[in-house]
Amino acid sequence: MEWLKIILSFISSIAVAFIAIIPAIISNRKKTQESIKESQESAKKDMTKMQTSLNNHIREDEDEKARNQRYRILRFYDEMCEHRRHSESHFEDILDDIDDYEKYCEAHPEFRNNRGKVAMEHIKVTYGKIKASGGFLTHDNEHDDA
């Protein structure tokens, strides 16, 4: 019977310990869950900021690429106005720039595109005329003016 008292005393001690510990465990668990939730919210905010920043950088790079294309187009047009001849490959590269630039401007109506339309049209028309007549600059006629 003595051993029964010892076992019951032991069980009582364990029960009292559990009753004392359980609220602390629950409280710590709630704090841990709140901490995890706060960390997740903070991480979401950081990810949103990084995504916004990345999108801004991508947009800036795309805008810069379009400005560079426009610059090359206008420079080519200026050279044409100065009566400089160009190879067919150079024309085709500029026509690729024109296609890409026009697509970009169409997809991004807020992009400033008030320059170059006349130049692009003139380049396209001139390319067609030179293509028909075979008058592109070639290695053979490169030094004709010298």
If one compares 52 and 17, the residue with the highest pLDDT of the two is 52
82-97 pLDDT, tens digit each: 999 999 999 999 999 9
Under 8 Å CB-to-CB from 79, ≥6 apart: which residues? Answer: 86
Within-domain flag for 30: no
Q: Is 12 among the domain residues?
A: no
Q: How many CB atoms lie within 10 A of CB 74?
A: 15
Cα torsion 132, 138, 144, 146: sign: positive
pTM value?
0.67
**Do the domain assignments include residue 115?**
yes
Residue 116, in any domain of the structure: yes
**The pLDDT value given to residue 142:** 53
Number of domains in the chain: 1
| 70, part of any domain | yes
| Separation between Cα atoms, residue 143 and residue 93, nearest integer Å | 22
Give the pLDDT confidence score for residue 72 in this predicted structure. 97
Average pLDDT, the chain: 86
Domain that holds residue 86: 45-139
Separation of alpha carbons 60 and 145, rounded Å: 43
pLDDT in tens, 26-85: 777 777 778 888 888 888 888 999 999 999 999 999 999 999 999 999 999 999 999 999
Find, among 38, 25, 107, the residue nearest to 66 by Cα. 107
Specify the amino acid at residue 39: S
Radius of gyration of the chain (CA): 37
In a domain, 97, yes or no: yes
Residue 36 lies inside a defined structural domain of this protein? no
Nearest in space to 126 (alpha carbons), one of 135, 138, 139, 117? 135
Band of residue 141 on the pLDDT scale cut at 50, 70, 90: low
Return the pLDDT at 146.
39
Residue 49 is assigned to a structural domain of this protein: yes
- Average pLDDT for 121-126: 96
